[in-house]
Amino acid sequence: MSEYHVMLIDFMNNLPLADNLKNELHKCVLASQVQNAPDFIKAKNVLFKNEMDINEGVQRLLVN
């Protein structure tokens, strides 16, 4: 696990999400290939935008 994974997990744990969702997102973070700062920023923004959509009641489908 890289330092970027650790920072993403810390960021994710500070989001107001249900614990079961955080557990599943933790798996996604670990599976992600975050190797540098631009990758970290993109991943952080995706997590934040998803959290905002959940709070607003908007559903999203992420396709990579």
63 occurs within a structural domain: no
For residue 3, the model assigns a pLDDT of 93
Residues 6-64 have pLDDT tens digits of: 999 999 899 888 888 888 888 888 888 899 999 999 999 988 888 888 777 776 555 45
**Residue 32 in tokens:** 């992600």
For residue 36, the model assigns a pLDDT of 93
Q: How far apart are CA 9 and CA 28, in angstroms?
A: 10
- Give the largest CA-CA distance in the chain: 33
50 occurs within a structural domain: yes
Residue range(s) defining the domain that contains residue 31: 3-56
Phi-psi region of 22 (alpha: psi -120 to 50; beta: other; left: phi over 0): alpha
62 occurs within a structural domain: no
Residue 8 has a CB neighbour count (10 Å cut-off) of: 25
For residue 7, the model assigns a pLDDT of 93
For residue 60, the model assigns a pLDDT of 59
How many independent structural domains does the chain possess? 1
Q: What are phi and psi of 43, to 5 degrees?
A: -65, -40
